[in-house]
Amino acid sequence: MKLQAYLAFNGNCQEALNYYADLFNAEIKNRQTYEDKKIDVPSSFRQKLQHAELKGKNVHFMAYDAAPDTPINHGNQIHMSVEIGNKDEAQTLFKNLSSGGQIHHNFREREWGYFGRCTDNYGINWMVNSNN
């Protein structure tokens, strides 16, 4: 069994994936727009992403721009969980993810290691963990 996150965006999927690709040193793969699809979306939406994947070392998730008739509850549908072995790297990642967003739990020591939870400036919820 394999589980993956699939993130939905309100028209800014490409921008968000560019941000995450830089942050996680990953590549955008399988990029498909609505351009040639037989889906009822406005012509102004045809260049938006119907599907894309972000792949890198220990990173793989899918994302898309939800069609205009699909309501999105801004960022509360999913949390992305990141496990990093090095506390300093985890803390730096948390700082970058929370920049421009909202911190829900400061990155600090917990019973199981170090943990922080935030919502980034794209409305996606993140949990960052480190066990040392």
Q: Go through the domains of the chain in sequence order and give each one's CATH number.
A: 6-65 (3.10.180.10), 79-130 (3.30.720.110)
CA distances from 128 to 22, 28, 50 (A): 17, 22, 28
Q: Would you tell me the crossing angle of helices 87-98 and 13-24 to the nearest 10 degrees?
A: 160
pLDDT of residue 76: 58
Per DSSP bridges, beta strands 114-119 and 125-130 are: antiparallel
Q: In 3D, which of 28, 29, 24, 64 has the Cα closest to residue 48?
A: 64
Cα-based angle 34, 37, 41 (whole degrees, multiple of 5): 55
> What does the alpha-carbon distance between residue 49 and residue 52 come to, in Å, rounded to a whole number?
7
User: Which residues of the chain, if any, have pLDDT below 50?
Assistant: none
Beta-sheet strand order (sheet of 114-119):
79-83, 125-130, 114-119, 102-109
Look at the block and give the residue holding tokens 């170090």: 114
Look at the block and give the residue holding tokens 């960022």: 75
> What does the alpha-carbon distance between residue 93 and residue 9 come to, in Å, rounded to a whole number?
22
pTM score = 0.77
pLDDT of residue 77: 62
